[in-house]
Structures are given as structure tokens and as C-alpha cells.
Structure 1
Amino acid sequence: MMASNMSENKLLNILPDMKHCHKGYAAYCSKTTKWQEMQKWTESAEFDSNVVGNLSKNLSANMDQQIRVLGIGSGEGILEIYQLRKLATKFPKISASVVEPSELITKYKDTVGRNPVADNITFEWHKQTFDEYLASVACHGSDKKYHFISVVHAVYFLGDPDVSIKKLYKLLEPGGIILLIVVTDHTGTGSIPLHQSGLKDDKITNNLINSSQVKATLEKLHIEYTQSTHTEIVDITDFMTNDDSEEGNFLLDFLTCTINFRKSAPDDVRDRVMCHFQQGSRIEKTDDGDAKISYNITSDILFVTRGDKAK
């Protein structure tokens, strides 16, 4: 199809096509330092202070009771398992509810089955979207609330942040904490100029949620938060140097949140996006002496605490 006609079509959102999305996610996981860096961060004094320490202080009157943890979009649990292990060192009983709509939840369950996280943690598994989970909870008349809610790079899938943040906050116990990790709008995927093309349909705009929007929602709702930043490095060599690289093109699709971006995007949009990656990247040497193209993605880490301490 000619580029002049392509603008009449919409670039397809990657999210409804879970098979394609998972292939993109797998390509991304193989090329990013995200998980290694986030695991180090979970072991850091910052996580200890802002999550474990503050929860201990806020829930000091109920330290011998079971705390409830909710993971939203937990994937295969790579980071969440580290979070739970840290919490298990401080709290004697933990009930962890995992909400993940994809087959990745099976990998999470298998990992926990092979290597239990800690003796004092029990799990509930919900292969559902966030809204499906809320609907099932409401159907059973439950008003269950949580002491810690982890939403790591999952807010993009929850729709309008004005609505989703309010729903999350309602699930929080007094003194509880929500951990939100969201890409910023000025670096990485949050700054890709794709949204300016006018090619995406309304549904795909959910993929463009960034930390500025989330913070604006928190401020609008008068919800207090503190923040820090985290930077990961993605190796984009494959799609920058080889148009035919299957793994590279899946990574490109994942970063642009589209399906078959290289083939589907009009020439001007594709050129603008590839120029963005080129200008935002740097060439580094690997341990083997080869050149690789590295691209930074910066995220804001937001700690949201529900006002009153537990009584």
C-alpha cells in the first residue's frame, strides 16, 4: 500500500493481540536491564524506607496481623517476588492476591510452586483484568482492602487514570501504600512522537499514559505522593541495524505499542520515530568488543500513602 493511502488506516494497537504482545514483551525482556535494575532497587534502602519501613510505621498497632498485598498486572512475578520476600522479613503473615489477565500468571504460579517465596506467604490467583477482578469482588459482596498494592508498568492497561487511580486508592487500607512505576513523558517510550501522527484510534491512546498524567490525577484527587526516578537501558541494535530482524521488529512493536510498525506506518511517521530512536540512543562497546545501540527509558517511581494510619 502506498504511504499516501496508509494515513487513511489506523496503526493497530498491540494490546488486544496478546500473542503478538507477548512476543514483543519477550523481545523486550531479552534486551533490557529493567529486571536486574529493579531487583537491585527492591533490595535498596529506598524500597526499605518508602515501602517496608513506612508500612511498618503506619501499621505498627497491627504488626502481628496478616497484611494483604495486591499485584496488578503482575506478569510472571519477576519483580513482585522480590517485593514479597522483602515484606516477609518484616511481617509475620502475608496474603498476596495476584491479578494478571494473560498466561504469564501460569509462569508466576509455577515459579512459586518450585521455589516458595517464603513460608509466611499465601497466594490467591486471579487470571482477570483489573476491572474483571473488581466486578468479581463486588459480585461476592467483598469489601476487601489491601495494605500494599504494586502497579509496576501496568497503569497503561487500566484505562483513564482519573478512573483507575481512584479505584486503586479505594482498595487501600488506611496507612497502606500503592507503588506506581510509570514511564515519564520526556524520555524513552513516553516521548516517542507516534501519538502526534493522528493514526491511532481512541483505544490506543491508553498506551500513552505517562507519569505526568498519573501525577496530575493524584494532585486532582488531593492524594499525596512522593517520588524518585529509575532508568533502564534497552539494546535496540537489532531493529536499528537490521530491518528484517524478527526479534528486533517485535521489540520495535512493543516500544511503539503497535503491530507491524515498520511495515504498517506511513513513511513520514516511520522516519520520524526511527529518527527519535537514533537521536535518543548511544553506541557502546560490549565485552566482546562489538558495538551496540543503547536507548534509555526513564520511569517515575511514585509512592502513594493513604492518609490515616491504621487504628
Structure 2
Amino acid sequence: MMASNMSENKLFNLLSDMKHYHKTYAAYCSKTNKWQEWQKWTESAEFESNVVANLSKNFSGNMDQPIRVLGIGSGDGILEMHQLRKLAAKFPKISASVVEPSELITKYKDTVGRNPVADNITFEWYKQTFDEYLACHGSEKKYHFISVVHAVYFLGDPDVFIKKMYKLLEPGGILLVILLTDHTGSGSIPLHQSELKDDKTTNNYVNSSQVKATLEKLQIEYTQSIYKETTDITDFMTNDDSEEGELLLDFLTSTINFRKSAPYDVRARVMRHFQQGSHIEKTDDGDEKISYKHTSDVAILFVTRRDRAK
């Protein structure tokens, strides 16, 4: 359902209108420091030891074959390319498969075409959902590294998609899942499921606790770390008429046309949440900027199997 057709005081999940979602995501990208923080994390000793070093240890005996990498919901590739550069510095050959259903995959391909990530990486592109990819290609092809960065929200039941990803891993392979926590940042924005009227998407919001519960139920070992993002929310905190600010507010609340559609008490509660979770900074030109901090779980999951890695 489109935002312009919605009734007053009904909240519709952002994922029910992908065209609007991509507009809100673009607004978010222009206001977040996610890219800088993600690059720092992939350059950190933590990523080096938990991902690069472990892949090297598990698969160094077969370096004449390419390391196979799968990106699920890769978007425009900005985050994923940092990972691939780190892996390319260690492994002589990498085969990267990109699964992304939206038009953002075209931007990813164009970026790689203009400025290749590394000479030793070859790409395969799949403009499909994860389920469509599995339906077309099955689970015969196994991967050494699977990356799912802020894409689990679109994949449905964690019990189902974690099992599917697990089956795609080579023994000894690593699955990296990055998603919002349920207790801080955007994951804690005080919207109740009962206030979201689109039944198709209401129950699909996935947070870190749900994914970790699935992993524990399936007895899949994982480690977890935290990184923080900051978003400039000045536009919607200080100007009710800012189109860019309204799009950003929609993205952070996962709601279409939030300010106009939310009942007064919900709107007041959410705006109070942003106010309490933010701080004011001075910009270089002397203006004030309101910055909001999110926290994301980085769950690095190590598959432990008895059969030898191939």
C-alpha cells in the first residue's frame, strides 16, 4: 500500500512498500556514519582474527581453488566491498556471488566496473531474493564465507533462513550476520507490533535476540561483538516540513509516513525516545547538529562440523 493512500492513525510497516523504502534508505545513507564505522571494523584486529585468519586456517590447504563468498541482500555493495578487499589481500582467488533483488545491484555492478575491488575477484550477479536464488540454484554450491549485512529483516522466520544459510556453508566456513539489537538504537524505538496494521509484515521484524535464540536452538556456535553508528537526525527533530527529515524518520521507525499517520501518543513517545537517545554537537561552521546513536550486533558465526573442510 502506498503512503498517500493510508488512513489516519494507521501505521504501515516500511517493508510493505519497497519503492518508499528505497527513498528512506537513501535519506538514511546521507545522514549516517555507518560507512566509516564499517570500514573501521573491517580494518580492525577483530575482523582480521575472526574472519580472515580463521578462513585462512580452515582453507589454506587448498589455496589453488577460489574462496567462494556469498553476499545476501548486498544492496549497492558499499559495505560488502570493504570485506572483499580484506579477503583479497589474503587469498589469491575469490569468487563472489551477489544476491540482491532490488535495482541497487545495478549500482553495485557499475561501481565494480568503474573501480574493481581487486584483480583477483570474479563476480556473479543474481537479481533475486534469497529464496528465488535457492529455487534456481539449489544448495549444491557451497560457500566459505556468507555475509548478511542488515538484510535479515527481509528474510522472514530466523529458524528457516538460518538453516538455509547453514546448508550453504562449506564445513569450517563462516557466516557473518549484522543486524540491530532489540534493546538499543533503532531496535528499541517504542513502536508496538499491535500498532502496525499491515499483517503481512507486522511479524517479520527480526532482531538480534531472535537470531541468537535460533542459533542456540540449532546448537550453532557463534561469537558476538558490537559496533555503534551515529545518524544526524537534525532535519526531523527541528523541522516538521523537511521532506528529507520525514524520509529519515520513516526509515528509523520502519513505518510509512510515520509523523502523519501515528497517533499523538505514539508520535510523542517516539520523538521522546529520539530526544533521550541523542546529543547535540557543534559543526565546523558553528551550527548545531543532533546526533542519534544506534547499536548493532555483529554476530560472527563459526560452523563447527566433524567432517574435514574441503
How many residue pairs get aligned? The number is 302
Q: Establish whether residue 166 from structure 1 lines up as the match of residue 152 from structure 2.
A: no
For the Cα contact (< 8 Å) 1:55–1:176, is it kept in 2? yes
Pair 1:181 & 2:181 matched: no
Q: Distance in 2 between matches of 1:200 and 1:58?
A: 47
C-alpha separation between the residues in 1 aligned to 2:106 and 2:278? Answer: 35
The CA deviation string for residues 228-276 of structure 1, in whole angstroms up to 9 with x for no partner, is 1000001111001111100000000111111111111111111111111
Specify the alignment match of 2:4 in structure 1: none
| Contact 1:160–1:206 under 8 Å retained in 2 | no
1:61/1:310 contact within 8 Å kept: no
Aligned to 1:125: 125
Summarize the alignment of residues 188-203 of structure 1 with structure 2, pairs less than 5 Å apart: 188-203=185-200
Shift of 1:32: 0.4
Is 190-199 or 98-107 further displaced after alignment?
A: 190-199
Contact 2:66/2:93 (<8 A) preserved: yes
Distance (Å, rounded) in 1 between the aligned partners of 2:198 and 2:157 = 15
Deviation at 1:67, TM superposition (A): 1.1
Unpaired runs of 5+ residues, structure 2, are 1-6
Q: Deviations over 1:73-125 (max 9, x none)?
A: 10110011111111111111111000111111000000000111111111110
Report the counterpart of residue 149 of structure 2 in structure 1. Answer: 152
Aligned pairs for 1:1-311 within 5 A:
6-7=8-9, 9=10, 11-138=11-138, 143-206=140-203, 208-308=205-305, 309-311=308-310
| 11-20 or 106-115: bigger deviation | 11-20
Deviation, structure 1 residue 197: 4.6
Asked if structure 2 preserves the Cα contact closer than 8 Å seen for 1:157 and 1:206, the reply is no
Secondary structure in 1 matching 2:195: coil
Superposed CA offset, 1:165-201 (max 9, x none):
1111111110100111111111111001112553333
1:105-147 CA-to-partner distances (Å, cap 9, x unmatched) read 0000000001111111111101111111111113xxx611100
State the SS of the aligned residue for 2:309.
coil
Give the superposition deviation at 1:6: 4.4
Structure 2: how far apart are the matches of 1:297 and 1:205? 22
Q: What is the Cα deviation at residue 206 of structure 1?
A: 4.9
Name the aligned partner's letter for residue 226 of structure 2: T
Q: Following the alignment from structure 1 to structure 2, what is the Cα–Cα distance between the partners of residues 119 and 16?
A: 39
Which amino acid in structure 2 is aligned with residue 213 of structure 1? Q
* TM-score relative to the length of structure 1: 0.93
CA contact (8 A) 2:171 2:309 kept: yes
Check the 8 A contact 2:16/2:198 in 1, yes or no. Answer: no
Q: Distance in 2 between matches of 1:189 and 1:35?
A: 17
Q: What amino acid is aligned across from residue 244 of structure 1 in structure 2?
A: D
Matched AA of 1:254: F
TM-score by length of 2: 0.94
Q: Distance in 1 between matches of 2:150 and 2:28?
A: 13
Query: Among the aligned pairs, what percent are the same residue?
Result: 80
In the TM superposition, structure 1's runs of 4+ consecutive aligned residues that sit over 4 Å from their partners are none
Over the aligned positions, Cα root-mean-square deviation in angstroms equals 1.5
| Structure 1 counterpart SS, 2:118 | coil
Equivalent residue letter for 1:310: A
SS of residue in 2 equivalent to 1:23: helix
Indicate conservation of the 8 Å contact 2:13/2:196, yes or no.
no
